[in-house]
Amino acid sequence: MRIAFISDIHGSFTALEAVLNDIKKQKVDQIICLGDTVSLGPQPREVLDALHEIKSINIKGNHDGAILEPEKAAQYEITEHLIPDLYWGRDRLSKADFDFMNSFVETHSLTFPNGIQLLAFHGSPLSTTHLIQATTDSALLDAYFANQTASVLIGGHSHIQMQRRYGEKLILNSGSVGNAFVFAFSPGNPPRLLPWAEYAILEQVGSSFSVDLRRVYFDIPKFVKVVKESDLPGKEWWVRQYYGSF
């Protein structure tokens, strides 16, 4: 069984399209999206249309929560200066898009044919805003994963790919499709983007289980053209990430 995990697309359909093309060649059985689908980027509708088409299992991220309930943006830990982009994305969605996003689930469990149990989530099984990194303190991990029977735990949110074995558990992050960070975000330390998309494929065949943290290069000039031609409030930020200036 082969499962692809995509996360933190953030409205970049150009990056998502490149990832989906790569996934097609990888012949997976299922795609699971770990959240943060549409906010911040210039192509929210295209992203949702694509997710619809691929019939992915969709988990709700904190940005998805904020798109659905913008009055709770602070609770979803959306930084103040991103609020105009949040509303810009919301304004582009139809009633059917909102219905689709309302169907996103908090977590998803699956069992591989050999009995390995997996739990997928956005931040942690307890909250879309919990940040799990390679350096996260073990006491926090114990709290986030208390009473979890799954031995493979996979999330998004940090925008940084990770494979961390923790006791008998394997904690994974598939990285970000549209917003792969150079370094972890922290207050006063604004994120910088890498010029590629990230995702993961997990496979169990017979007695083997493997993790493939993948990187896909996408058409940045094509994406920047879409950004520049949009009236997205944060468009200068996007262009600076890839070209250094607007």
Interface residues with Fe ion (CB under 5 A) are 8, 36
Q: Which long-range contacts (CB under 8 A, 24 or more apart) does 180-189 make?
A: 184/131, 184/133, 184/158, 184/159, 184/160, 185/158, 185/159
Q: Residue with CB nearest Fe ion?
A: 36
Rounded to the nearest whole angstrom, what is the least distance from the CB of residue 157 to Fe ion in the complex?
A: 6
Rounded to the nearest whole angstrom, what is the least distance from the CB of residue 178 to Fe ion in the complex?
A: 9
When the beta carbons of 36 and 46 are compared against Fe ion, the nearer one is 36
CA dihedral for 8, 125, 78, 91, sign (positive or negative): positive
Rounded to the nearest whole angstrom, what is the least distance from the CB of residue 13 to Fe ion in the complex?
A: 16
When the beta carbons of 8 and 97 are compared against Fe ion, the nearer one is 8
The Cα–Cα gap between 241 and 100 comes to: 30
Q: Which residues of 79-118 are buried (b: 16+ CB within 10 A; e: fewer)?
A: eeebeebbebbbebbeeebeebbeebeeebebebeeebeb
When the beta carbons of 87 and 185 are compared against Fe ion, the nearer one is 185
When the beta carbons of 106 and 203 are compared against Fe ion, the nearer one is 106
Rounded to the nearest whole angstrom, what is the least distance from the CB of residue 129 to Fe ion in the complex?
A: 10
